[in-house]
Amino acid sequence: NSSISLLDDTELEEMCRNVIQDLSAYGLCVLDDFLGRKKGEAVLKEVLDIQSQGLLRNGQLVSAKSNQDQRIIRGDQICWVDGKEPHCPHIGFLISQVDAVIVRANRMLDNDRLGQYNINSRTKAMVACYPGHGSHYVKHVDNPNGDGRCITAIYYLNLDWDVQASGGLLRIFPEGWREDKVADIEPLFDRLLFFWSDRRNPHEVQPAYQTRYAITLWYFD
Ligand SMILES: O=C(O)CNC(=O)c1n[nH]c2ccccc2c1=O
Ligand SMILES: [Fe+2]
C-alpha cells in the first residue's frame, strides 16, 4: 500500500493483542509512542498548518462573560480530513496506521469480531483544537443512541503537556467501575487512545489552559 508501515507483522500482532485485551478488560486502551517522534511531529506540523490557514471551524460557544469581562470561552474548533488531501500526507499516514491496528484486531479474534463487533468502516479524521482559556467539553457519550459508531480512536499531539499547569485532562467514567474510580488520560504527544464509543464510556475534556490538539477517528460496525 502507499504508506510504508512502521510496524513489522510481529509488532503489529503484539500491539493488537494488547488493544483487544485492554478493550475487553477495561473498555479502553492507551498506546504510547504510536508513530515515533519524527512522524508525530510531521502530523503536528500539518495540524498547525491547517489551523494557521483558518480551516478550523470555530468551536461552539461555551460561555460568553457578560458586561465588563468580554472574554469568550469557545470549546473545540474542528475540521474533517479524509487523509488523501495533498497538504496532509502525514495525517493520511496516521489514519492508515490506526486502520491497520483496527483491521488486524478485528480479524485476530477467533470469532472474527472485535468484541461483539465486525468493524467495516470509519468516519473521516476529525482534527480538533481546544484553544485554551478554559475551553472544555462537558461530560458526554460519543454514541448514546446506537448510531453505529463502536470504537473512538483519539491521537494526541501535545508536546511536553503538563496537566497540572495546562489542564486538558480527558476523564473517562467507565461503566461498571467503582463509583470513585475514573480513567484519567493525559493528552500526551504521540499517544493513541481507543475506547468503546457507547454508553459504557461517559467522558469529559477538563478545561484546557494551553492550545490542545487531537485527531479523532470513529469506527463503525
Ligand atoms: O479530546 C479528547 O480528549 C476527548 N474529546 C472528546 O471526547 C470529544 N468528543 N466528541 C466531540 C464531538 C465534536 C467535536 C469534538 C469532540 C471531542 O473533542
Ligand atoms: Fe467524546
Distance CA 202, CA 7 (A): 32
Q: Please name which of 27, 76, 19, 25 lies closest in space to residue 201, comparing C-alpha atoms.
A: 27
What's the whole-number mean pLDDT along residues 8-28? 92
- Does position 178 have pLDDT exceeding 60, yes or no? yes
183-212 per-position pLDDT tens digit? 999 999 999 999 999 999 999 999 999 999
Distance CA 105, CA 116 (A): 12
ipTM for the predicted complex comes to 0.99
Interior/surface letters 108-138, b for 16+ CB within 10 angstroms, e for the rest: eeeeeebbebebeebeebbbbbbbbebbbbe
Q: Mutual orientation of helices 9-26 and 89-108 as an angle, nearest 10°? A: 70
**Which residues lie closer than 8 Å to 66 by C-beta, 6 or more apart?**
none
CA of 85 to the centre of ligand 2 (A): 25
CA of 17 to the centre of ligand 2 (A): 24
Per-residue pLDDT, 112: 47
CA of 62 to the centre of ligand 1 (A): 14
CA of 8 to the centre of ligand 1 (A): 31
Position in ligand 1 atom list of the atom nearest CA 185: 3
- Does position 1 have pLDDT exceeding 60, yes or no? no
- Does position 147 have pLDDT exceeding 50, yes or no? yes
**Which residues lie closer than 8 Å to 89 by C-beta, 6 or more apart?**
46
33-90 per-position pLDDT tens digit? 999 999 999 999 999 999 999 999 876 766 666 665 556 667 889 999 999 999 999 9
When pLDDT is cut at 50, 70 and 90, the band that residue 32 belongs to is very high
Paired residues of 135 in beta bridges:
208
Single-letter amino acid code for the residue at 151 = I
Ligand 1 atom 3, closest CA:
170
Q: Is the dihedral of CA 151, 152, 157, 163 positive or negative?
A: negative
CA of 129 to the centre of ligand 1 (A): 10
Question: What residues does ligand 1 touch, defined as CB less than 6 Å away?
Answer: 76, 78, 128, 137, 142, 154, 170, 187, 203, 205, 214
What's the whole-number mean pLDDT along residues 4-21? 84
Per-residue pLDDT, 2: 38
In this structure, which ligand is nearest to the CA of 185? 1
Per-residue pLDDT, 65: 64
What is the maximum alpha-carbon separation in the chain?
62
Per-residue pLDDT, 3: 44
Ligand 1 pocket check: which of 182, 216, 217, 218 to mutate, most ligand atoms within 8 Å of Cβ? 216
77-135 per-position pLDDT tens digit? 999 999 999 999 999 999 999 999 999 998 886 554 566 778 889 999 999 999 999 99
On the 0-12 / 13-18 / 19+ scale of CB atoms within 10 A, 41 is middle
Q: What pTM value is reported for the model?
A: 0.92
Per-residue pLDDT, 102: 95
- What's the mean per-residue pLDDT of the chain? 90
